[in-house]
Chain A
């Protein structure tokens, strides 16, 4: 058991180093940004807001009609900087799907006003902590993992049957 603190200290150093490294490197979830530049709407796609999602597939759906249908209005691909521009024909909620065809997909609703103030309903699909920075989310995840392991360890140690029982 005397080796345990030494082992934990070594592992903690390695994880701290990896944490620093990770804070410098981007992760890879697909993120989107919407801007209305009348008469156009500009969609910007990136991985974690840092690496442009170039040449990924885009499908634009017009606002639903009276019968609730929202057919595809336009399809295409982002440019090398991860941008895609389309020309909406009416105000309303324009749904834009982005897909890199490698398992990463995002959907954003561009609320077109026609006055250059498109708001984006770009809430992350899983909700939660996406508004926080990478480092903060990483720290939160590590805290949860270590906390859960610690609680489980404590609970199991407390309920462990004595040797020979």
Chain B
């Protein structure tokens, strides 16, 4: 999913950098001190998750956790994904340096759409989390498909898109499990995602509340 150098036109790479840096600056404004540790932890989780390779149907794919990052961090997902991709580019050669901006735009878009799904889509939180997890990894693939079409590159990208649908389903299920765990163990992290009915007194008991 990380685009190497020499595949996309230079104009697209420059536009990617402009968009990525602009979005990172805009979404980092008014950062609160309390948000920083959470951003650091999720950046580490994304960094690790994207190194886990899953060979599916002869194609090498990997997880991203962009949906989970978007759900928990909202628009702060953009600087987090930017930082993670910089490290992946330089430490693991995942994607090219010139393509870094485009890679950030693709993957941060997944995080932002996941954040919007979590916040605005109707339905129970678990379902929203699953859909956000799926969209978080699959939207970047769709963007990649469009960029490759514009660049006139790639024949196997349709296979990659089909394979990533499986990865998206797995990641959706994983995101739903994480959110269900956090809802039970640390619901304050999901405060911005909970609807009034869901966060009504009694709807979200503290852990072991029934014991007390």
Is the pair A145, B43 in contact by a Cβ cutoff of 8 Å?
A: yes
Size class of the contact patch on chain B: 35 or more
Tell me the bound Cα distance from A104 to B156 in angstroms.
Answer: 11
Measured CB to CB, the nearest residue on chain A to B45 is A15
Tell me the bound Cα distance from A80 to B116 in angstroms.
Answer: 43
Is the pair A104, B4 in contact by a Cβ cutoff of 8 Å?
A: yes
Is the pair A28, B53 in contact by a Cβ cutoff of 8 Å?
A: yes
Contact of B89 among A7, A126, A149, A150 (CB under 8 A): A126
Is the pair A51, B83 in contact by a Cβ cutoff of 8 Å?
A: no
Chain B stretch 36-94: residues in CB contact (< 8 A) with chain A: 36-37, 39-41, 43-45, 47-49, 51-53, 55, 58-62, 83-84, 87-94
How many residues does chain A have at the interface if contact means C-beta atoms less than 8 Å apart?
Answer: 54
Is the pair A51, B33 in contact by a Cβ cutoff of 8 Å?
A: no
Is the pair A103, B47 in contact by a Cβ cutoff of 8 Å?
A: no
Tell me the bound Cα distance from A18 to B97 in angstroms.
Answer: 26
Is the pair B92, A101 in contact by a Cβ cutoff of 8 Å?
A: no
**CB-defined contacts of A106 to chain B, threshold 8 Å:** 4
Is the pair A28, B60 in contact by a Cβ cutoff of 8 Å?
A: yes
Is the pair B4, A149 in contact by a Cβ cutoff of 8 Å?
A: no
Which of A47, A130, A152 has most B Cβ within 10 Å? Answer: A152
Tell me the bound Cα distance from A23 to B134 in angstroms.
Answer: 25
Given A27-B92, A47-B53, A125-B4, is A8 in contact with B37 using a C-beta cutoff of 8 Å?
yes
Tell me the bound Cα distance from A105 to B99 in angstroms.
Answer: 12
Is the pair B48, A149 in contact by a Cβ cutoff of 8 Å?
A: no
Contact of A148 among B40, B45, B155 (CB under 8 A): B40
- Additional A-B contact list (12), CB under 8 Å, known A100-B156, A141-B47, A153-B36: A18-B45, A28-B53, A28-B61, A29-B92, A106-B4, A137-B91, A140-B91, A145-B43, A145-B47, A145-B84, A150-B40, A153-B40
